[in-house]
Amino acid sequence: MQDKKKLKSMYNYATIKEVKEILKNIKFISYKQAEIDNLNDDGETQFLMSMYGGKQTFGFTDYKEHRKDSFESLKKEITGRLLDHGHQRGHFYSKNGEVVKTIKIKGYYGGITGVFLYQDDINGFGR
């Protein structure tokens, strides 16, 4: 069981400075480099996974085609979104307080998504 003080701090928002430091050392991979790449439908599968999959997903919907975007453009978009929007600290840390090291990203029809990959498969919120 996590220490209550440590758990509470995971619900606070990460500062821009903290996120910049994390992003300096993070590894970006594409879904093609990861275990699945079967999301070439109209975005419905991605929506269902992000809503009900239990993973820490993030990204945006812009109603544009992103399946053929370059890896670098996807990475740039996701990095910008992580810096522009407030995210709770628990998204960036594992249950053991370890900083997330990898983000899996994908463009789909309608937007771009990312998933944090934690070393122990459980985020800083303990789920």
Mean pLDDT score across all residues of the chain: 79
Residue 78 placed within a domain: yes
Sign of the dihedral through C-alpha 75, 88, 14, 100: negative
Residue 37 placed within a domain: yes
Is it the case that residue 19 has pLDDT exceeding 50? yes
Residue 36 placed within a domain: yes
Is it the case that residue 48 has pLDDT exceeding 50? yes
pLDDT band per the 50, 70, 90 thresholds, residue 47: low
Structural tokens at position 51: 């809503």
Is it the case that residue 23 has pLDDT exceeding 90? yes
How high is the pLDDT of residue 20?
94
Count of domains observed in the chain: 1
Is it the case that residue 46 has pLDDT exceeding 90? no
C-alpha span between 55 and 30 (Å, rounded): 16
Q: What is the per-residue pLDDT across 79-111, written as a single tens digit (0 to 9) for each?
A: 998 888 788 898 898 888 899 999 888 888 888
Residue with the two structure tokens 């085609």: 65
Residue 104 placed within a domain: yes
Residue 61 placed within a domain: yes
Could you list the residue range(s) of the whole structural domain that residue 23 is in? 4-117
Residue 126 placed within a domain: no
Q: Do 69 and 107 meet the contact criterion of CB atoms below 8 Å apart? A: yes
Residue 15 placed within a domain: yes
Residue 124 placed within a domain: no
